[in-house]
């Protein structure tokens, strides 16, 4: 598991800033906003205002619903950044010879044509 950089850890564990209590009109618009399902947007994160006003960013990540976690979080971005790459191609001599070897070329009509063309061209190696 990758290490979390200290600066990111500090921002995740930092206590939330004190927010002023919303007025009744603000509370009404807040409830109206959360009652209507919003379409997901690429420009703004998909978190509800109730969660945003509650606790630290780490608590938000732990208490957020599954829909809110669909947007990339700092921890997800770290995992993507340090993911292992280049593990797709695992070469095998046996498979290579079975697919492109001389005996495989000799077996099929298309393979025999390839051998004929390479022989006519004067290739030193006809196949693998």
Kindly state the tokens that stand for 91.
């070469």
What CATH class is the domain 93-128?
mainly alpha
Distance of CA 3 to the CA centre of its chain: 18
The string of DSSP codes covering 24-85 is HHHHHHHHHHHHSPPPP-SSS----HHHHTTS-HHHHHHH--TTGGGSPPHHHHHHHHT---
The tens digit of pLDDT for each residue in 114-125 reads 999 999 999 999
Express each pLDDT in 57-88 by its tens digit. 667 766 666 555 566 677 777 777 777 777 88
Contact 22, 33 (CB under 8 A): no
Q: Would you give the DSSP letter of residue 122? A: T
Q: What is the predicted pLDDT for the residue at 3? A: 78
Residue ranges of domains in the chain: 1-10+54-84, 93-128
Residue bearing tokens 């927010």:
19
Region 4-32 average pLDDT: 69
Is the pLDDT at 98 greater than 90, yes or no? Answer: yes
Q: What's the average model confidence in pLDDT over 5-25? A: 73
């Amino acid at each position: 598991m990758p290490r979390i950089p200290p600066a990111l850890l500090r921002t995740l564990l930092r206590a939330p800033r004190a927010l002023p209590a919303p007025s009744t009109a603000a509370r009404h618009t807040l409830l109206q906003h959360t009652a209507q399902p919003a379409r997901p947007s690429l420009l703004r994160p998909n978190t509800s205002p109730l969660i945003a006003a509650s606790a630290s960013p780490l608590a938000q990540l732990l208490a957020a619903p599954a829909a809110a976690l669909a947007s990339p979080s700092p921890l997800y971005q770290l995992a993507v950044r340090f993911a292992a790459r280049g593990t797709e191609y695992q070469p095998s001599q046996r498979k290579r010879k079975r697919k492109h070897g001389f005996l495989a070329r000799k077996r099929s009509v298309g393979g025999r044509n390839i051998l004929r063309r390479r022989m006519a061209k004067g290739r030193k190696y006809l196949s693998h």
